[in-house]
Every structure is written in structure tokens, then in C-alpha cells.
Amino acid sequence: MSELFDDFKSIVLNNTPLIDVRAPIEFKKGAFFNALNLPIMSDEERHEVGICYKNRGNAKAVELGHELVSGAIKEQRVQAWLDFMDANPDALLYCFRGGQRSKIAQQWIGERGREIVRLKGGYKAFRGYLLPELEGSCEHFKPIILGGRTGSGKTIELKKMQNAIDLEGLANHRGSSFGQKITPQTSQIDFENNLTYQLIQKREEGFGTLVFEDEGKHIGSVFMPDSFTPVMSNSPLVILETPLDERIDITLNEYVIEAQKAYDGAGFTDALNAWQESIENAMYRIKRRLGNQKYSEVFAIFEDALKEQKRSGSFEKYKEWVEYLLSEYYDPMYDYQIQKRSHLVAFRGSASEVHEYIKSII
């Protein structure tokens, strides 16, 4: 078996499991899909070794690394790699440049009678493969943008399409002032890497037309790649039209009922209060656009709905709050934006009609 592997495309197409032995601080900045951080050194250990490297050179730094990661600590880390390999027999190994850390990890695994292949060039080389793929991806597909007012169910319908990419899912954000989730947003690098994975996979499946939800330049704290912005902003728009009562139900379910369940499962001492704070913070973020009077009105409606939930357990009064936000904030803003791009609107229709139309033009 070869010790090194650099067929990065096959890693993408097979969603190959990866062991990332870099320090946690490196992993948080950016990693790859299906990668698990099982570091050979902690952040503190890496910091100490880095100082030693600067002051005393490579040999002394390696020596210190072996001292810091030895005995029970070494055994625990090697066992974690072996456990991952047991669960994922095709796993590969990488560090930043495919150098000492992954090579040492590979050797330690070998001492336990096992073999694992490491990425040639490590994280840097794999990232170096993905970036040009992302930059040039727009040459390989024709985008269709799925638009529609807030609550129309765009994400729900998008997930039913094989030739669609869910940008909000990749960003772990719902793309609005109320879109923040409990779990942290994807890092910019992770967003780019995961998007590139999907673009390569869709191209390999033979899709020349890809559907994306109508997004701005930013999705929460992540932003669209520069190569995407001009292409997306000038692509055909398909508008999903959904009756207001259905939009209220969809929005209520996602932002109230399911969101509260997520808070319940996240270990908060007072989950309802934590959810309430997140909603109130979101309303405050749109205060300037709403104006003082409307802000006071929507806040009062929300407080009444919250009181009713605490009293009776009913979510019904939140419908009034949702309808107010849709009609007084989201709809006027969306209609204004769509009016400026009306020349791009290729089709309008219900969910079933939108699906039929997109199938007809693939």
C-alpha cells in the first residue's frame, strides 16, 4: 500500500472519511467534509513546540513534541485514530502540509500493526485543488435561482430537487435576520470547501443546470465566492408563490416550534428564555428598518404570544406575530428587490408548477 495519496477528486466523489491531526485551532479555521479532528497535539502543545522550533530548531522541536505526547497521552490519541479507522476502513490522514505530524501519526499507527494512507501535501495541497475548482465552477453549469417571499418554502422545495445545492444548509444559517441557529455557523473556508465538494459531485452526476436559493452576498457571517456573485445576480429567477396562510404556518413551524425544540435539546437551563432572547435580539437588529412604531407593535405582539404559550402551551398567537413580520417587514423589502430584477423572472408558480418548470428546462 502506498503511504501517500493525492487523487483529491476521488476523495470528493467518495466522501472519503478523513482524520485531521492538526491542532483544534487550525481545524476551526477550516477543514474538509467528512473530516474529524483527532489532533496529534493540543493547541497548547503545538504552541510550545512552535516556540521551541523558532528558538532551537527543528530537531529540538520534534524532540519536545515526543516528550509532550508520550505515555498515556500518546496511547489515548493513537487509540482514537484506530477507533475511527475501525468505523471508517477507507479513512485517510492529513496534517497541514502532509509533513511531520501526519508522518509521525502514520508511524505510530503502524507500530500498532495497522496501515493508513496520508494525503500528499496535506491540507494545503487539498485546499489548493479545491480553490481553482470553485473559481472555475461557473463555467460548468447554468444556474437557476429559486426566489419567493419569506416563508414560501423555498428550502423545503429545494431539498426535493436532485440538481439543487442548499447554500443556507452549507452555511448553517437561514439567511435572514432571524436565521441564526444554536450551533455555530460554518467557517468561510468550510463553506467554500463544502460548496466545492457539491459542485464537483453534481458535475460528475451530469447536471448542467443547478438550482440555488435566492441569496444576497452574505448568508449570516459567510459570504458568497467572488466568482459566484455576478453569475447568480444575473441568472433566471423562478418565483415560488405560496398563499399567506401557508407561509405563516411554514414560518411558525421553523422559527418557533422547531427552533424551540432545538433549544430544548441544547442543554439550556431555561431553553424558552434563551430562545426568547435570540428572537428579541433579532427584532432589535431590524428596529431601524421597521421604525420605532412598528418595532413597538411587533414586540408587543410577540410578548402577548409568549405569555399565551407560557399560560396554555399554545403557539397559536405567534401566528399574528409572524403575519405582522411578513406583511410589514419582509414582503415590502422582498417585493422591492424583485421589482429591480423583474427582467430576470422566468417563471412564477406553485410548488408543483415550479418543479415541473425546472424539470422541463434541464
Cα 357 to Cα 164: distance, rounded to the nearest angstrom: 14
Residue 166: all three cell numbers together: 442548499
Q: Which residue has the cell 413551524?
A: 253
Report which of 98, 132, 96 is spatially closest to residue 9, judged by C-alpha positions: 132
Residue 95: all three cell numbers together: 496534517
Report which of 5, 6, 34, 37 is spatially closest to residue 21, judged by C-alpha positions: 37
Cα 160 to Cα 3: distance, rounded to the nearest angstrom: 41
Beta strands (DSSP E) in 167-221 are 209-213, 218-219
User: 222: helix, coil or strand?
Assistant: strand
Q: Name the residues annotated as catalytic.
A: 95
Q: Answer whether 38's CB lies under 8 Å from 85's CB.
A: no
User: 35: helix, coil or strand?
Assistant: strand
Say which amino acid occupies 128: G
- H helices of 37-121, in order, are 43-56, 58-68, 71-87, 100-111
Q: What angle do CA 265, 271, 272 make, to 5 degrees?
A: 130
Cα 351 to Cα 19: distance, rounded to the nearest angstrom: 41
Cα 87 to Cα 17: distance, rounded to the nearest angstrom: 10
| All residues at 6 or more sequence positions from 203 whose CB lies less than 8 Å from its CB, including other chains | 137, 140, 141
User: 352: helix, coil or strand?
Assistant: helix
Q: Answer whether 90's CB lies under 8 Å from 63's CB.
A: no
Cα dist. 50→54, 59, 268 in Å?
6, 12, 38
